[in-house]
Structure 1
Amino acid sequence: MDVDEDPPGASLVSENQPSDASSVSSNEEPSNDARAPSTASLDNKNDDEVGLALTWTGDGWHTVLSRRRKKNLKKSKTEPEKALEKKNEKSAGHPLADAARDSQVKRDFQRRKRRGPTPLPKEEIKVILRPSKGLTVKNLFGSELSMAVIEACRNSFGLESFLLRVHPGSNIIILSTPHEQVAGRLIEINQLKIRGRIHPFNAYVADPEDVLRGIVHGLPPGTIQADLMANLRIRTQGVKIERARMLGSSKSAIITFTGDVLPGCVYFMGAEAIRYPYKPTVQVCKICRSTGHQTDVCPTPNANVCSKCGTCDPTKEHECALNCAICGEEHATGDKSCKKKLKNVAPRKSRVETPRRKTECTYAEKDFPQFEQHQQKPPRWFSSDREEATLQTGQASRSSSRS
């Protein structure tokens, strides 16, 4: 018996596939809307709390992203947009303003890139040469100054015995040497022959970098350095007075100490004087009103500048208003109210602190029985052994009665 029938399932699949697909899609659409609301995005707060982000597609599938990948995806989308916005803003701006902005950015980059000179060796001796008025050391070659120093010391040492550095801001010369004999020769320099002319100099040894300084007030003005060193005393152990000098014609003196601790007070001729912290101030020349160097080394001693207002070539009838050469405000230069009077110096600890090692006690009382016996024995402060014996018998009888 022949039966002409289609294979089961084949015709059904071909005929019902479109309808099934439409029905499946129609049935899954509301579920997709329920699972993926309009608020589902990469910025979902609930996803942030869980640490995962859900990216929904049109077919109802979603991709699970980690938090790190989510952040990278956001960055990749925002950086081109920001770059495009900056480019549009720059093109829409004024060309002169854009050029000024570019030059400012270039100057800032060069300022950050510029570095100071390599510091001189800390363990070496530093000798300072201060020129007289009218000589600008930054306009001279370093080789000229080195040869002048060798000639002033009568060729007693070579060029390899010291290092020379010019400090243009302070208008001084710094000589660094590890040899005490060379330093002794450099201190004796009182003049240098430069370009056929003789220029007087003042030489002295700079304080080491590990010294401490303090200020003492109420001393007799005009006291010479020898009298200060002979009459100053301190009681702090491990600290010595290296040198002391008066600050101009004032009643204050600056004292240099060597050690790890700054003493709280010093004694001058037996009288106690409180030691105050030393705060370096900005140097201002009284001749040219320039900051960075003192009056005795001014490179322009013939400058005609008003010391109060800073007017160049002033007349007798000019309007003179107080103007600070440091901060530019309306007060005298170096006044107590000046906010920029003090130098920006990194604070230094007054005591060298060493970390203490923590140790744990691993011993028991039974390891030291003699300590236990010593603690049980009462202290002896009796006048005789008889009183102590009576006290011990009294304690024994009292304990037996209690039991």
Structure 2
Amino acid sequence: MEVIVEGEDLPPELFSEDLGWQAAVARRSSNKATVARSFETKMEGLAPKAGGSAGERQYGDRVKRKVIKAARMPPLPKEDAKIILRPRGGLDVSRVGVTAVGRAIMKASGIDEAKANSDVIRPNLQQNIVVVSTPVRENASRYTRIKTIEVASKIHEVSAYEAAPHSACKGVIRGITLSDGPLDLERNIVNARNPLALGAKRIKNTGTVIVLFDSFKVPNFVRYGPVLVRCFLYRKQVDNCYACGKLGHRADVCPSPNDVVCRGCGSSNTDDHHQCTPKCKLCGGPHITADKICRQRYQIPYVVRRRRWEKAAEASGSKDGDNIAWSPLAQECKGRSRSKGRSHSRGRSRTRAGYRSWSRGRSRSRGSSRNTAGSRARSRGRSGSRRRDGEVRFETRSRSRDRQHGGQPSWADRVRQGAAEKVTRGSPPECDRDNERLAQLERENKEMRDTIARRMA
């Protein structure tokens, strides 16, 4: 009796070895045609709590930005598969040369140069790793199977795995039983109950599991079998070497693993009885570098930075598809005009049922005007508008501080001249001119359509 089950065949190497997120990438590509329903999400506990003095926080932010900026590399194609190769055995990529490492990788993969024309090998000298980008799945499988490379007549072990795909984020669930293997994790998480889940991996021998989602949002809860488990956004730590004590790379790819230093004070050749006063290189606090209590040990996740950019774009009105808000017509009609002069003003207005509005403001100018007594004049104005029989009337009443002392009228009073301005229509002249231009454009468009219709007939 034959039983046919819907799905796709996976090669044995996908589930027999830890090749990173290769299975998740394959599962995501097969599900591209389907639209998964998303959860309503809310982010909690993303940023570490503020603590310490302002100087320590600024110092930590500055050091962390410097480390992250040094590890930043040119972007790679988003749809390509990214393979991370971590050389071990003290291989220094910057010292031996990036071209020598690239040739060694191509030789170990066994890929012909003709088939690797679209592949890109990008070394990261700060992290001492190599990233390979390829649009061909067969080449990606070959790169992930690399175990050793030969550089300068010396064999170095390599840990190769596939990185998470673009436009995906990671979540963390805790308290998972240690007896559950990789197959149990996939079966309990990657199913129809969690439509956005692409894969799951355990962090070493702990009860913490990383879940990859096909979205820029992490759900608050994940179904692990029938159990509802709380899910948090995954935050990447700042790379810190436990061997040489430097920031920017990890201990497994340290170019000088024999130069062991103290993580607290940075002293070398220490023994078991070494005592020191630790100082963190990230935040400057009295603890070892990147300790669990360090408030600068985590990087800001990309999804958080992306949402901040979107909120900033919405606030400034420069978001894509919102160009109408920045047009001159909308700016004039909304009355959002910014003056580049040297005058500053602030005011307060209130409206009663749309018929009466009063505003009271203060204005000051950098160019001072002095009266006969030599004192600087400042003016406070009060203006109001009343609506009667479809007519808008703007009235201005001003008073000067100098008048309280019996002085002459101020510069603002002389400019206003005490005259009231009448506007017989309910809209400013700028909007009237824009309305006329819009009407003219509509007439021209109508004439153009009629002309095209006649010629087509």
Smaller-chain TM-score range? 0.5 to 0.7
Contact 1:224 1:245 in 2 (8 A): no
Aligned residue in 2 for 1:196: 153
Higher relative CO (Cα under 8 Å, sequence separation at least 6) belongs to 2
Deviations 1:87-114 (A, max 9, x none): xxxxxxxxxxxxxxxxxxxxxxxxxxx9
Q: Relative to 1, partners in 2 of residues 1:188 and 1:336: Cα closer, same or farther, differing over 3 Å?
A: closer
2:138 to 163, 181, 191: 181
Match of 1:343 in 2: 299
- Residue matched to 1:304: 260
**Residues 267 and 344 of structure 1: CA distance in aligned 2, closer, same or farther (over 3 Å):** closer
Distance in 2, Cα, partners of 1:226 & 1:290: 37
Kept in 1: contact 2:263–2:278 (CA 8 A): no
Cα separation, partners in 2 of 1:154 and 1:317, compared to 1, 3 Å: closer
Find out whether 1:276 has 2:232 as its counterpart.
yes
Task: Kindly provide the amino acid, as one letter, of the partner of residue 188 in structure 1.
Answer: R
Q: Pick from 270, 278, 303: which aligns with 1:322?
A: 278
Check conservation: 1:152, 1:191, Cα contact below 8 A: yes
Task: Count matched residues.
Answer: 242
Query: CA separation of 1:260/1:355 partners in 2, compared to 1, >3 Å: closer, same or farther?
Result: farther
Aligned-partner Cα distance in 1 for 2:166–2:291: 29
Which residue identity lines up with residue 174 of structure 1 in the other structure? V
Q: Which has the higher helix share?
A: 1
RMSD of aligned residue pairs (Cα, Å): 3.1
The alpha-carbon deviation at position 261 of structure 1 amounts to 4.1
Distance 1:248 1:309, change over 3 A: farther
Please list every run of at least 4 consecutive aligned residues from structure 1 whose deviation after the TM superposition is greater than 4 angstroms: 114-117, 233-237, 352-356
Distance 2:158 2:123 in 1: 14
Match of 1:207 in 2: 164
Secondary structure of 1:348's counterpart equals helix
Relative to structure 1, the CA distance from residue 227 to residue 296 in structure 2 (aligned partners, 3 Å threshold; closer, same or farther) is farther
> Is contact 1:236-1:263 (8 Å) kept?
no
Question: AA paired with 1:327?
Answer: C
TM-score by length of structure 1 reads 0.54
Alignment partners' CA distance in 2, 1:212 and 1:184: 22
Q: Secondary structure at the match of 1:210?
A: coil
Q: Structure 1 residue 258: deviation in Å?
A: 0.9
TM-score, normalised via structure 2 length:
0.48
Structure 1 unaligned regions, length at least 5? 1-113, 357-403
Inter-CA distance 145–178: structure 2 relative to 1 (3 Å threshold) = same
With over 3 angstroms needed to count, the CA separation of the structure-2 counterparts of 1:133 and 1:316, relative to structure 1, is same
Specify the structure having the higher radius of gyration (Cα): 1
**Which residue is 1:382 aligned to?**
none
User: Tell me, what secondary structure is at the counterpart of 2:306?
Assistant: coil
Query: Residue in 1 aligned with 2:92?
Result: 136
Q: 1:187-206 CA distances to partner (integer Å, 9 max, x unpaired)?
A: 11111111111111111111
Superposed CA offset, 1:102-153 (max 9, x none): xxxxxxxxxxxx9965311112111111111311112232221222122212
Q: Distance in 2 between matches of 1:116 and 1:334?
A: 20
- 3-state SS of the aligned residue for 1:160? coil
Give the Cα separation in 1 of the matches to 2:92 and 2:185.
34
Deviation of 1:282 (Å): 0.8
1:230 aligns with 2:230: no
| Residues 221 and 230, structure 2, Cα contact 8 Å, conserved in 1 | yes
Distance, in Å, in 2 between the alignment partners of 1:227 and 1:236 is 15
- Between the aligned residues of both structures, percent identity stands at 29
Change in Cα spacing, 1:212 to 1:234, as seen in structure 2 (3 Å) is farther
Within the candidate set 127, 132, 135, 1:170 is matched to 127
Runs of 5+ in structure 2 lacking a partner?
A: 1-69, 315-319, 323-457
Please say if residues 234 and 265 of structure 1, whose CA atoms lie closer than 8 Å, have aligned partners that are also in contact: no
The Cα of 1:251 is off from its aligned counterpart by 2.3
Q: Distance in 2 between matches of 1:323 and 1:260?
A: 36
User: Does the CA-based 8 Å contact 2:263-2:288 persist in structure 1?
Assistant: no
Number of the residue aligned with 1:90: none
Partner SS state of residue 322, structure 1: coil
1:316 Cα offset (Å):
4.6
